[in-house]
Amino acid sequence: MKPAQINELSYFATLSDAEIRNDLISGHIKNENDYTSNFTGAFRRKINSYTQTGLVATSMLLDSNNEQEMGCDATIIITSGGRSKVAIFEAKWPRLSKKNYQWDYSQTSTGLSHYSDQLNRQKKHKDTLAIFEMFYCEYEFKKQPLYMCDYVSSCIWHDDAMLFNKSRSKPNKIWSKDDLKSMLKKNSKLEISDIIRSICKCEKGEWIRLDNAESIAKEFKIPPNILHINTNN
């Protein structure tokens, strides 16, 4: 990808996440799915409205149950020169401002942690896809806990989340707010712009020889909420 396109994508991602976090702070977001949908929609609109480098973005919602199978909420596909990078992410809103809120819960069938199960399901394609976790924050800007980002959501790569989970005394135990705090404090603060930049600079995820979103979805069983970005290169 051209450096100017990478810079645009990173910038638009930051603006979109900050915009929807402001909506969350203002009480206009209902839940994680609402935030995710609004974020990817804002990202699409900013790309199409303000790009100076020829980027084009489209959104689609495919008819599939792959979200449950992959343990993630949404997909971002970046296509350039007939090949694509595919990123999938799981979004959590841990409601850190609520004292007794439990953001993880037990699986009804096993009694084990739902989030740990999601992490384990995500690793199926970890060597090919770029996989990350995204934690939404309802605190006012710069009033959030120090281990969270000032204006946007806090992200962590799947591999780092898996390493932390394995370090817990009981990896299948329900995650607490203290677990989340420890994980985010242990790893560098990452914003969505850092995630996008690493993907575009080939530091995360592998290029695949497909440029059609539906073909990619069929091949990898990605989450059906898809933002497809084409560089037109």
pLDDT digits (tens, 9 = 90+) for 202-233: 999 999 999 999 899 889 888 889 999 999 87
140 three-state secondary structure? coil
Q: Give the model's confidence band at 67: pLDDT under 50 very low, under 70 low, under 90 confident, else very high.
A: low
Amino acid (one-letter) located at 230? N
Q: Quick one: pLDDT at residue 144?
A: 97
Question: At a CB cut-off of 8 Å and minimum separation 6, what does 65 contact?
Answer: none
> What pLDDT, on the 0 to 100 scale, is given for residue 62?
80
The pair of structure tokens assigned to 14 is 């930051």
Q: What six digits make up the tokens of 202?
A: 């080939």
Q: Which residue has the tokens 């007939």?
A: 82
Q: Phi-psi category of 202—alpha, beta or left, where left has phi over 0 and alpha has psi -120 to 50? A: left
Neighbours of 45 (CB within 10 A): 15
Pairing relation of β-strands 56-61 and 130-135?
unpaired
Cα–Cα nearest to 84, from 75, 92, 72, 93:
75
**What is the average pLDDT value for the chain, to the nearest integer?**
94
182-197: pLDDT as tens digits: 999 999 889 999 999 9
Say which range, 14-28, 31-45, 216-230, has the weakest mean pLDDT.
216-230
Q: 7 CB contacts (<8 Å, ≥6 apart)?
A: none
